[in-house]
Amino acid sequence: MKPVVAVLGPRDAGPGERLEMQRRAHAILEQAGVDGVDRIDVPAKGGGDEVEGSLRAAVEPLVPALQSGSLFGGRRGVLVIDAHQLLRSEAEVAAALLGGVDGSSAMVVFVAEGSLPAPLSQAVKASGESVTVKKMRERDAADWLARESRERRIRLDPEAANALLQRFGSDIAALAQALDQLATVEGPVTGEEVASRFRNRPDEPMWHFSDAVAAGDTGEALRRLADFLTHGHPLQLTAFLLGDLRRRAMAAAAPDLATFASWMGAAPDHFPVRKAWESRERVPDEHLRRALDALARADLELKTAPESSHRVTIERLTVALTRWYGGGRRRRAG
């Protein structure tokens, strides 16, 4: 392995992705056989103590760390967390130092969301390599849970595994904490054991809900709705659903994918664009009009009616949308 590695995660990384990114970084350093790690946490842009030179105070230790290596003849590790937050001047300094890193005495790992600043990215391409951590989905969390429970020698029965995923979604940081607690259970862990210990609901992205609505799965959509309302507000959902409906309507009206993508201001292979285009035949025009009317009425109700009625309003909207989105096919003219 090269002496410089970038561990790159999704731009909107959540707790699970951040945990996996740091786990990968520590595994790389462990595999390299370093005898210690100098960790540098890069503050957010605009944060940290400003200094007269090119580096903020929190980033200054990066220079001696990259220059010195181990003082005792071993191999020293340098771990830079949130490297995407490096200022351009800081990235330029780091990039200039990477060319002189001695792989026999130092191993450098940058952890970043999205991408590294351009000067540093170019230097890593020239003298190192990159590892990508993809966005964590629930199926990825299921694989992670199975692997992690085996490594910890925790016996989860299928009901327990499903219950954990329903409780925590794709948040593997929370799943790891749950496994820490379950490690004390003797024998197989059951779904009942999980339900009695963990009563929180996952703080998960809204597209889980919209996917269930689009599939016409009323039961799953209502479960996802309950999960979301534990942390979010119904008006967030109506705004999200309105954006989804707008994409559906534009896809239905567009003569071809290229035109639809240009209307959306995105590339044809952009995932939301491709997803809306591929599903354009599934919902009849009449159902789209009903959905728009129902969304407008629900939005008004949520903004004017007492809060005690909000949950019923959004539940009724959910049931209606699953019926309209999940059944029938749009008829194309001609």
The string of pLDDT tens digits covering residues 18-27 is 888 998 999 9
pLDDT average, residue stretch 23-40: 89
Which tokens is 161 given? 């595994």
Q: How high does pLDDT run on average in the chain?
A: 84
Q: pLDDT tens-digit profile of 70-111?
A: 544 568 899 999 999 999 999 999 999 888 887 778 899 999
Q: Which contiguous run of DSSP H or E holds residue 326? A: helix 310-326
Report, at the CATH architecture level, how domain 138-197 is classified. Orthogonal Bundle (1.10)
Two tokens, residue 174: 């929370």
Count CA within 13 A, CB hemisphere, residue 106: 23
Can you identify the CATH homologous superfamily of domain 4-132? P-loop containing nucleotide triphosphate hydrolases (3.40.50.300)
Q: 179: closest CA among 134, 137, 145, 141?
A: 145
Domain with CATH 3.40.50.300 in the chain: 4-132
Q: What is the CATH number of domain 207-326?
A: 1.20.272.10
| pLDDT tens string 137-180 | 777 888 889 988 988 889 998 999 988 887 777 777 778 878 88
Report in angstroms the alpha-carbon separations of 224 from 108, 231, 232, 312: 41, 12, 12, 15
| pLDDT at residue 327 in the model | 61
Q: In what order do the strands lie in the sheet with 129-132?
A: 37-41, 76-81, 106-113, 4-9, 129-132
| Residue bearing tokens 């970043």 | 112
Question: Residues spanned by CATH 1.20.272.10 within the chain?
Answer: 207-326
Count of CA atoms in the C-beta half-sphere (13 A) of 19: 14
